[in-house]
Amino acid sequence: MKRSCIITLIISLAAILSAEPCASAQETAPEGYEYVDSVVYRPAAAVDSSLVGQDIFRSVSVSQSELVERSVKKHIESNAKRTINGYRVRIFFDNRQTARSESEQTIKKFVNMFHDVSAYRTYTNPYFKVTVGDCRTKSEAMALLARIKGAFPSAFVVKENINYPIVDKDNAYVVDTVKVLRPKK
């Protein structure tokens, strides 16, 4: 009974989150106003509060051979460097004679200021580049850009292959882009 309730809850949440935007969001803006993109943070899907503190897996036991465990570990190790399509923020892009040392200084400055964000320095003839972050969506990259724009004003978002981002289970949130109505300037 509980399992069917959980499945129903998950299906309901998926339907709500994937629903089409309402028609009013697609209307033209009233006179003197405009729609602009805005980045929002919303909590990731949460567990039904009636299940909090309950051991829902108390009767589940997993039996597997040592071969399966070794195989899974080997698969994880061999795919550790796989990449996916995503976005990063480029904070340095130059081909002058001093570009190599400037890129080293830029990446050191970034790592000291934003130690929680990964940074990458690459050389593609003739350019030295420093890109930061591993963002799955452009919205996440735009949020990162807004965060670092003060220290790196020439930064911009680029589409690149990224490493799999680390999921923070303690602070689970989703970054999304929404249309917001504001007065025209």
Q: What is the pLDDT along the chain (185 residues), one digit of tens a residue?
A: 555 555 555 665 555 555 545 444 456 888 888 888 777 776 666 556 666 667 777 778 888 888 988 998 888 788 777 778 999 999 999 999 999 999 999 999 999 999 889 999 999 999 999 999 998 889 889 999 999 999 999 999 999 999 876 666 566 666 667 788 888 88
Tokens at residue 145, please? Answer: 């850009």
Report the distance separating Cα 129 and Cα 96, nearest Å: 12
pTM over 0.85? The answer is no
Residue 13 lies in a domain: no
Q: Spell out where the chain has E strands.
A: 33-43, 83-94, 119-124, 127-135, 156-163, 173-183
Residue 162 lies in a domain: yes
Report the distance separating Cα 150 and Cα 133, nearest Å: 16
Residue 14 lies in a domain: no
Q: State residue 52's pLDDT score.
A: 64
Q: State residue 94's pLDDT score.
A: 95
Instruction: Kindly report the length of the chain.
Output: 185
DSSP 19-57: PPPPGGGGSPPPTTEEEEEEEEEEEPPPPPGGGTT--TT
Report the distance separating Cα 121 and Cα 128, nearest Å: 7
Q: How far is CA 165 from the centre of its chain?
A: 7
Residue entry with tokens 């995503």: 86
User: How many domains are contained in the chain?
Assistant: 1
Q: Provide the β-strand partners of residue 119.
A: 132
Q: State residue 23's pLDDT score.
A: 43
Residue 4 lies in a domain: no
Q: State residue 180's pLDDT score.
A: 82
Q: Whole domain around residue 90: which residue ranges?
A: 24-46+70-185
Residue 12 lies in a domain: no
Q: State residue 91's pLDDT score.
A: 97
Residue 90 lies in a domain: yes
Residue 7 lies in a domain: no
Residue 79 lies in a domain: yes
DSSP SS3 for 162: strand
